[in-house]
Amino acid sequence: MSEPNANAIPSTRAANRSRTHKLTISAMLSGVAFLLMFIEFPIPALIPSFVKLDVSDLPELLAAFSLGPVYGIVVTFLKNLLFSVLHGTSSAYVGELFNFVMGSVFSFSAGYIYSRNKSRKGALIGAVVGAALMAVLSVPFNYLLVYPAYVVCYGLPLDAIIGMYQAILPSSDSLIKCLTIFNMPFTFFKGMLDVVLCFLIYKPLSPLLHK
């Protein structure tokens, strides 16, 4: 019989510590993301007031860069799970599903590209690509799923929703125009705001995220 490999035990312990650390940081970032979901505000001059700006995707981006792209999805999922359980939903969970899909696309894309090129440039490229994908995909998701659900859940006619956009830009006379002219650039701006904040705080938080 072969003798046990003495080097395997320290290696296993190190792997367990790394896994425990990643799960701990993911749980912490999920809690922060959950709290950030409550800090939101409208920008009525640029988009109807029911569309609000928040930075709850920031912890997902931190997780994707520090722990790996899959952990960006994990934080996004846990954030929305906490929100659904502790706060409840007013959109039959469609809003939470949309938030999960958009946040996952954003954080996973950014984290994946960064994992292939671990440099500041790689992180920036990944984050910009993630924000752009999130913005583009927000249009069909909103058009096919989110806004029809809002019409049913809130009893708000689609014409009334479009009218809110027309109050800002009269030529936006269809939902697809509204989403393309307003929501898509707004979503990209929201993602890039998260990117700027991430670049500002990542280095100070790096010892906590990596150790």
Residue 118 in 3-state DSSP? coil
Structure tokens at 24: 């701990």
How many whole angstroms separate alpha carbon 182 and alpha carbon 48? 9
Taking only the tens place, the pLDDT of each residue in 149-188 is 888 888 889 999 999 999 999 999 999 999 999 999 999 9
Taking only the tens place, the pLDDT of each residue in 62-78 is 999 999 999 999 999 99
Per-residue confidence at 2, pLDDT binned at 50, 70, 90? very low
